[in-house]
């Protein structure tokens, strides 16, 4: 069984008061159904985090932040110092 890739970035929150997350193509990805007092702030943070990590494989993120930074620096060095 192959691993399913996540929805392409950028993700967005419906609006500042929304509890919904949408993908780049406007597809509804998820919505909070539990009325937690911090739900909207959590959704905002999830969207910001996903978008900030665009281009980084999930496995690299799961292996820790220093590994991600090191891997990115290696890739820059291999590309002749160009991003």
**One domain for residues 68 and 35:** no
pTM: 0.68
- Domain match, 34 and 3 both: yes
How confident is the model over 39-46, as a mean pLDDT?
A: 89
Quick one: pLDDT at residue 49?
92
Instruction: Give the burial class of 16: count Cβ atoms within 10 A of its Cβ; 0-12 exposed, 13-18 middle, 19 or more buried.
Output: exposed
Same domain, 12 and 38: yes
Give residue 9's pLDDT band: very low, low, confident or very high (50, 70, 90): very high
Q: What is the average pLDDT score of the chain?
A: 84
Count up the domains in the chain and report the number.
2
For residues 64 and 48, membership in a common domain is answered with no
Check residue 1 and give its pLDDT. Answer: 41
Tell me which residue of 3, 5, 4, 16 sits closest to 50, measured CA to CA.
Answer: 5
Which pLDDT tens digit goes with each residue over 11-22?
A: 999 888 788 999
Q: Are residues 45 and 60 in the same domain?
A: no
């Amino acid at each position: 069984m192959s691993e399913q890739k996540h929805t392409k970035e950028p993700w967005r929150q419906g609006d500042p008061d929304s509890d919904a997350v949408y993908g780049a193509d406007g597809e509804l990805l998820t919505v909070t159904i539990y009325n937690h007092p911090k739900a909207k702030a959590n959704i905002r943070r999830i969207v910001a985090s996903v978008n900030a990590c665009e281009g980084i494989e999930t496995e690299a993120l799961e292996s820790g932040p220093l590994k991600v930074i090191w891997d990115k620096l290696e890739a820059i060095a291999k590309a002749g110092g160009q991003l």
